[in-house]
Amino acid sequence: MRDGPEQAPAKARAGAVIGRPVEPLPIRVWLRARQSGEFQADGYALEWTNKQVYVRYIDPHGREGWAWVWANAVTRR
């Protein structure tokens, strides 16, 4: 089983307006993987609501991943 990230719940963004940038925005994000724990990663914001952000990131093992995370876990680079 892949060591995937915990994600923000989909119900929390149900019905929310989703913003999409023309170009993905470079970000730094805190994530928690199911097996290996918490880590920070560089990535890109692909979509967002007022409370959550959909990110593409590279984990500490060099694998690419995607996840919806809470907005306060994300900062711009």
Provide the pLDDT for residue 27: 98
Token pair of 42, please?
């560089």
Provide the pLDDT for residue 65: 93
Kindly list the averaged pLDDT for each block of 10 residues, start to end, along the chain of length 77: 84 95 97 90 97 95 94 97
Provide the pLDDT for residue 34: 82
pTM, entire model: 0.92
Provide the pLDDT for residue 39: 95
φ and ψ of 73, to 5 deg: -90, -5
Dist. CA 57–CA 43, nearest whole Å: 4
Give which of 68, 64, 32 is closest to 53, Cα–Cα. 68
Q: Which domains, from first to last, does the chain contain? A: 10-76 (2.30.30)
Compute the residue count for the chain: 77
Dist. CA 60–CA 71, nearest whole Å: 21
